[in-house]
Amino acid sequence: MKKIASNITRREFLGQASCRAIGSASLFSALLNLRMANSAAAQNLSSVDPFEYRALVCLYLHGGLDSYNMLLPRGEESHAAYQTTRTDLAIDKELILPLNDLSGKELGIHPSMAEVQQIFDAERLIFVANVGTLVEPTSLSQYQNKQVPLPRGLYSHRDQMQQWQTSIPDGNAAVGWGGRTADLLASLNDSDKISMNISLNGNNIWQSGATATSFQISKSGSIKRSGYDSVAGQSDAMVGAAIDSQLDLDYANLFKQTFVDISRSAIDAHEEFSSATDAVAPFVATVYTDPLIDSEAEISAINSLAGYFTMVAKSIAAHGTFGLRRQTFFVQYGGWDHHDDLLEKQEKMLKVLSRCLKYFDDLMLELGMGDKVTLFTESEFARTLNSNGDGSDHGWGGNHIVMGGAVNGREIYGAYPDLYSGSSLDTGRGRLIPSLSVDEYFAELALWFGVSPSDLSTVLPNIDRFYQPGSGAPVGFLQV
């Protein structure tokens, strides 16, 4: 039997207990209604089997990826225009790795991305061209004449990062589209001990919902509660026993009891997560590094990002133990704000990205989860096509990667833009108006994940300006 932690009179106890009972009853009612709403949403999933496992992995490329040197033209005329516009930032045509896409668009990728070329050819990776934040469809004349609202803080890191994660371009939202998705689909999971949203890089807006939160881990695994195992001068056993004794009490004060409940849940979640992921057998797949051609810094960066993907794979392998049929993961790879030394820095970082994407693809194939897991990239914006002398500055629409067995492969989706100065999308210095909104990009992912067309506007409040839910695939790059 648990002890009561505070000494109070019978009258005080009855008064506080009554308040707690009323509060608990209201909270229980609210949670029950939410659970019923989640269950109703789960029954309205179009063609997606609610008992089938699916996971979304958001790879956030922090800093603003210069993606027109990642996916670039290799046709004679299109590359000549690209080279004239980019001047000292251009990649020579003969170095570009060709993409043999089904529509023959004569595009290629950066020479450091040989592994991505392999996955593309194997039809497990696609590119989505010229995606960006939009309040509504926007033409160059509308932009120039201020006839349409524009995303708030258009070229700001903070604002654009927030908008990519919330899909709300004209507001200051603290709830992300991944979190709103989790709010809707939480009842598909058999247990709520471990959140369906797992972050390997701390707090993020994308996974924050009205009720959903992220379970934060590192590439080494679950993060222990600070001070639980040891403090200076005390043994692990003594400290753990002391904290356990405090958490084993009942507290009349609602706030104290809530803190205790949260603390105990965090400790229990850590122990359950660690036990399950530690039991996953070592993977056969390895990330490729070569000391003869890779610098120590490159090898360190490759192993670091690969470490995050290893932990994502372990979490996916253990999903049955957790009772989870839906999971999201957030991984961040930063350092893309290349205002200087763009060619040298990008050569190294795109190599890291390519090697690690191949490693994660190999892990998913090894687990037999290739078509159950979809990885997609986000970044604040692309960058100016015009050089600033040694690098590029903040831009707008850019190109992104989607990878997994569910993609309709060997294709580039969306309209790849003309890369010459003064084009119909050029707002100045090669800042290109997106031809595809983030809402359409995310809608494709959300529908594949299990959001019903009727709930899509709840997840993506801006979607109706670009796409009518239920009218077919928003973009077409996933097998929904």
* 107 bridge partner residues: 73
The mean per-residue pLDDT over the stretch 102-120 comes to 97
Write down the pLDDT at residue 69. Answer: 98
Q: Are 413 and 137 in contact (CB under 8 A)?
A: no
Digit-coded pLDDT (tens) for 454-476: 999 999 999 999 999 999 999 99
Burial (Cβ within 10 Å: 0-12, 13-18, ≥19) of residue 296 = exposed
Q: Is the pLDDT of residue 274 over 50?
A: yes
Digit-coded pLDDT (tens) for 369-403: 999 999 999 999 999 999 999 999 999 999 999 99
- Residue 386 φ then ψ, to 5°: -75, 140
Q: Provide the b/e sequence for 389-414 (b: ≥16 CB within 10 Å).
A: eebbbbbbbbbbbbbbbbbbbbbbbb
Residue 237: pLDDT band (50, 70, 90) is: low
Q: How many CA atoms lie within 13 A of 359 on its CB side?
A: 23
Q: How far apart are CA 418 and CA 130, in angstroms?
A: 11
Q: Is the pLDDT of residue 324 over 60?
A: yes
Q: How far apart are CA 99 and CA 119, in angstroms?
A: 11
Q: Is the pLDDT of residue 37 over 80?
A: no
Write down the pLDDT at residue 137. Answer: 98
Digit-coded pLDDT (tens) for 338-364: 999 999 999 999 999 999 999 999 999
Q: Give the helix/strand (H/E) hosting 58.
A: strand 54-62
Write down the pLDDT at residue 223. Answer: 78
- Is pLDDT larger for residue 205 or for residue 247? 205
Q: How far apart are CA 178 and CA 442, in angstroms?
A: 10
- Is pLDDT larger for residue 476 or for residue 259? 476
Write down the pLDDT at residue 35. Answer: 43
Write down the pLDDT at residue 198. Answer: 97
Q: For all residues of the chain together, what is the average pLDDT?
A: 87
Q: How far apart are CA 366 and CA 284, in angstroms?
A: 8
Write down the pLDDT at residue 263. Answer: 42
Q: Are 174 and 304 in contact (CB under 8 A)?
A: no
Q: How many CB atoms lie within 10 A of CB 189?
A: 21
Write down the pLDDT at residue 267. Answer: 64
Write down the pLDDT at residue 241. Answer: 53
Q: How many CB atoms lie within 10 A of CB 17?
A: 13
Q: Give the range among 169-178, 237-246, 364-373, 421-430 with minimum mean pLDDT.
A: 237-246
Q: Is the pLDDT of residue 192 over 90?
A: no
Write down the pLDDT at residue 164. Answer: 98
- Is pLDDT larger for residue 8 or for residue 325? 325
Q: Are 343 and 206 in contact (CB under 8 A)?
A: no
CA quadruple 167, 124, 332, 48: dihedral sign: positive
Digit-coded pLDDT (tens) for 214-225: 999 999 998 765
- Strands 107-109, 97-98: pairing is antiparallel
Domains and CATH numbers, the chain: 53-226+256-465 (3.40.720)
Residue 250: pLDDT band (50, 70, 90) is: low
Order the strands of the 97-98 sheet from edge to edge: 71-73, 107-109, 97-98
Q: Are 42 and 188 in contact (CB under 8 A)?
A: yes
Digit-coded pLDDT (tens) for 55-93: 999 999 999 999 999 999 999 999 999 999 999 999 999
Amino acid, single-letter form, for residue 323: G
Lookup result for tokens 């924050």? 208
Q: Count H helices, E strands: the chain?
A: 13, 13
Task: Look up residue 457 and give its two tokens.
Answer: 């506007």
Q: How far apart are CA 135 and CA 167, in angstroms?
A: 10
Q: Are 280 and 318 in contact (CB under 8 A)?
A: yes
Q: Is the pLDDT of residue 10 over 60?
A: no
**Helix 10-42 crosses helix 177-185 at what angle (to 10 degrees)?**
100
**Helix 254-278 crosses helix 10-42 at what angle (to 10 degrees)?**
50
Q: Is the pLDDT of residue 44 over 80?
A: no
Write down the pLDDT at residue 364. Answer: 98
